[in-house]
Amino acid sequence: MDISVVIPLLNEEESLPELTSWIAKVMEENKFSYEVLLIDDGSRDDSWKVIRRLAADNPFLYGIRFRRNYGKAAALNVGFRHASGEVVITMDADLQDSPDEIPELYRMITEEGFDMVSGWKKNRKDPLSKTIPTKLFNQTTRLVSGIRLHDFNCGLKAYKQALVKSIEVYGEMHRYIPFLAKKAGFHRIGEKVVFHRERKYGKTKYGIDRFFKGFLDLISISFVARFKQRPMHLFGLLGTLLFLAGFIIAAYLAYGRFIQQIYGMTDRPLFFFGLLAMILGTQLFIAGFLGEMISRTAPDRNRYHIEEKTKNLKC
């Protein structure tokens, strides 16, 4: 199969018939073999009824329904697990992403050798209350991740199947799929300017709080990506440095107390800073040790992303 289109949705009953008809038209014009996976993330309107009706009329369309709202990341993760196309394309269900972009995204993956191509809504049809925070968010993410993309949060993206099968998207991590891909060893990440349409039906499902959550998620994913399998490298280092600083302070005060006999150790506030540093250092070191033990017994501790093997390899 050429293409799997994964579409997470929440309360989009009005846009689904037009969107799926548009996708089918593009696929037929380009003679792609395809499937469309509609992931209903706990909609409270008639989205699921519409999906069932559309699936009955289209053998290439499938629906998956969550019992409650879990978030876009969960919907994408389930869609990735079920996708079987050579190229997996994601888009939003609100008709702001154009299915006409699909052929070029597919070509960039299959012919230009990209592992992933991210859309760039260069001319956004959103109010300033969304565009300004989005620019700040993208600048911060570029700085932290080292990936030179203009629009990390664009829902219109294309992936090699191997990529989506190698990553796990959870929480609010859908914004950082390029970062997850890079950490999984997929470095050929491209970008394409895509047409962004005004919302035709309904209203946005995101508020200003998504940017605060996004910042915390960025810190979380940066930490996990670097230290998930070696927590001792962080906690052990910090703990050792703090303990040594506290020990040096204690040694200095002990020298003044027992050798020079010019003051009592507990008479100086520096004593309490040194004591606190040694206690915190010990706790951080123990935390790193416990984290190391947990990571060594984790079921995915030896999960590596193998790109290719020769046919005569024997295990």
From the number of C-beta atoms within 10 Å of its C-beta (0-12, 13-18, 19+), residue 156 rates as buried
Picking from 207, 227, 247, the residue at the C-terminal end of a domain is 227
pLDDT of 225 over the 80 cut:
no
Residue 255's contacts (CB-CB under 8 Å, 6 or more residues apart) are none
311 in a domain, yes or no?
no
Q: Are residues 44 and 143 in the same domain?
A: yes
Residue 12's contacts (CB-CB under 8 Å, 6 or more residues apart) are 43, 47, 93, 94, 201, 202
**What's residue 209's pLDDT?**
61
**What's residue 315's pLDDT?**
47
**What's residue 75's pLDDT?**
94
Q: Does residue 112 or residue 138 have the better pLDDT?
A: 112
Q: Are residues 160 and 269 in the same domain?
A: no
Pairing of strands 61-65, 3-9: unpaired
What's the mean pLDDT in 92-116? 95
237 in a domain, yes or no?
yes
CATH code of the domain in which 112 resides = 3.90.550.10
pLDDT of 313 over the 60 cut:
no
Q: What is the pLDDT of residues 249-269, one digit of tens each?
A: 988 888 877 777 776 677 788
Domain range holding 268? Answer: 232-297
Q: Are residues 104 and 158 in the same domain?
A: yes
Q: Are residues 59 and 194 in the same domain?
A: yes
**What's residue 233's pLDDT?**
77
Q: Which has the closest alpha carbon to 87: 163, 4, 175?
A: 4
Q: Are residues 213 and 271 in the same domain?
A: no
What's the mean pLDDT in 136-143? 80
Tally of structural domains, the chain: 2
Picking from 203, 227, 251, the residue at the C-terminal end of a domain is 227
**Phi and psi at residue 219, in whole multiples of 5°?**
-65, -45
Q: What is the mean pLDDT of the chain?
A: 85
pLDDT category at 131 given cuts 50, 70, 90 is low
Contact 157, 177 (CB under 8 A): yes
What's the mean pLDDT in 78-88? 96
Span of 139-143, 229-233, 288-292 with lowest mean pLDDT: 229-233
Highest mean predicted confidence (pLDDT) among 120-124, 130-134, 139-143, 184-188:
184-188
172 in a domain, yes or no?
yes
75 in a domain, yes or no?
yes
Q: What is the pLDDT of residues 36-71, one digit of tens each?
A: 999 999 999 999 999 999 999 999 999 999 999 998
Q: Are residues 49 and 110 in the same domain?
A: yes
- Please tell me the distance from the alpha carbon of residue 100 to that of residue 5, in angstroms, as a whole number: 13
Q: Are residues 134 and 246 in the same domain?
A: no
**What's residue 280's pLDDT?**
94
Q: Are residues 223 and 236 in the same domain?
A: no
What the block records as the tokens of 171 is 């929480």
Span of 226-230, 266-270, 300-304 with lowest mean pLDDT: 300-304
156 in a domain, yes or no?
yes
What's the mean pLDDT in 128-153? 79
Picking from 227, 250, 275, the residue at the C-terminal end of a domain is 227
**Phi and psi at residue 224, in whole multiples of 5°?**
-65, -40
User: In terms of pTM, does the model score above 0.85?
Assistant: no
**Phi and psi at residue 158, in whole multiples of 5°?**
-130, 145
**What's residue 305's pLDDT?**
47
Q: Are residues 42 and 148 in the same domain?
A: yes
pLDDT category at 25 given cuts 50, 70, 90 is very high
Q: Are residues 286 and 175 in the same domain?
A: no
Q: Are residues 174 and 244 in the same domain?
A: no
276 in a domain, yes or no?
yes
308 in a domain, yes or no?
no
Q: Are residues 199 and 240 in the same domain?
A: no
pLDDT of 185 over the 80 cut:
yes
- Please tell me the distance from the alpha carbon of residue 2 to that of residue 217, in angstroms, as a whole number: 33
pLDDT of 302 over the 50 cut:
no
280 in a domain, yes or no?
yes
